[in-house]
Amino acid sequence: MKNFDGIIFDIDGTLASTHELVFESFNYVINKYYNKKLTTDEIIALFGPTEDVILKEWMKEHYENARKDYYEFYESQHNEMANIFPGLEEVIKIIKSKRIPLGIFTGKGRDTSIITLKAIKLYDYFDLIITGDDVKEHKPSPEGINKFLSAFNLKPERTLMVGDTPTDIIASRGAGVKCALVLWDDFSRSRYSNSETDFIFYSVEEFKEFIINNI
C-alpha cells in the first residue's frame, strides 16, 4: 500500500557524510583568525543557525574575510572529506520515478547546501530546497516542513521527513509528518540511537526496501 505522497530529506549525515567537513571548515577559519581550535562538542553546540549567523557571531570584524575563507575551504575540500552515502542515489531515483514531490529541509545555509547537493550529484532531483536561509525559525521548528507541505498541498500524515538527529524528529512532530531517523553515519549513530521516532534505519539497504514498499 502506498503510504507517502511526499518525502523530505535533511543533508548532513543523511544524504552526505559531511560532518567532518563542517567541523574542519569552522576550525579552519577560527584557527586562521584566532589561533585556536574548537572541540567537536563545542562546534555542535553552535549548530541551529546557519553558517553565516555563526560566523558573524564568532568572527566579529573578521566576518567578511572569514566567510569567504569558510566557503572556499568547504568547497575545495568537499571531494576529499565528504561524499554521498553509497546506495542513496538509487533510492532518490526510485522516489523520483514515482513522481512524488521530493524536498530538502536543512539547517545549512543555501550556499553550502547547493555546494553539497551538486558535489554528490543530487541537486537536480529535488523539487524544493528549503535551507536555514529560507525560514524565520530554524530546526527544530517545523517551519521548513510546513513550507513543503503547503507548496505541494500534501497531507502531513502522508509525508515523510528523513533525517539523522533529534531536531528532525521534533520538527516532524511539530508538522504532523512521519519521521525516519537514519543512522548510517557513525557520528549520528553514536549519539542518537536511543531516540524515539516513527521509523529508524541503520543501513541504506533497509531504508531502500522501506521506500519501495511505501511509495
Per-residue pLDDT tens for 140-185? 999 999 999 999 999 999 999 999 999 999 999 999 999 999 999 9
| pLDDT number for residue 14 | 98
Separation CA 38–CA 24 (nearest Å): 10
| pLDDT number for residue 1 | 58
Average pLDDT over residues 31-50: 92
| pLDDT number for residue 24 | 97
Residue 166: alpha-carbon gap to chain centroid: 12
Name every residue whose Cβ is closer than 8 Å to that of residue 55 and which is 6 or more positions away in sequence.
29, 63, 66, 67, 70
Average pLDDT over residues 2-14: 96
Please name which of 174, 157, 155, 156 lies closest in space to residue 166, comparing C-alpha atoms.
Answer: 174
Neighbours of 63 (CB within 10 A): 17
Separation CA 140–CA 132 (nearest Å): 11
| pLDDT number for residue 48 | 86
pTM: 0.95
Averaged confidence pLDDT in the chain? 96
The CATH code of domain 6-17+83-214 reads 3.40.50.1000
Separation CA 106–CA 144 (nearest Å): 8
Please name which of 13, 11, 8 lies closest in space to residue 191, comparing C-alpha atoms.
Answer: 13
Separation CA 167–CA 144 (nearest Å): 12
Average pLDDT over residues 132-143: 96
| Lookup result for grid cell 538527529 | 165
Query: To 10 degrees, what angle do helices 166-175 and 143-152 make?
Result: 50
Separation CA 114–CA 132 (nearest Å): 12
Domains of the chain, by residue range, sit at 6-17+83-214, 19-81
| pLDDT number for residue 2 | 86
Share of the chain above pLDDT 90, in %: 91
Q: Which residue has the higher pLDDT, 189 or 74?
A: 74
> Looking at the predicted structure, is the pLDDT value of residue 123 above 90?
yes
Give the bridge partners for 197, in sequence order: none
Separation CA 159–CA 5 (nearest Å): 6
Tell me how far apart the 2 most distant CA atoms of the chain are, in Å.
57
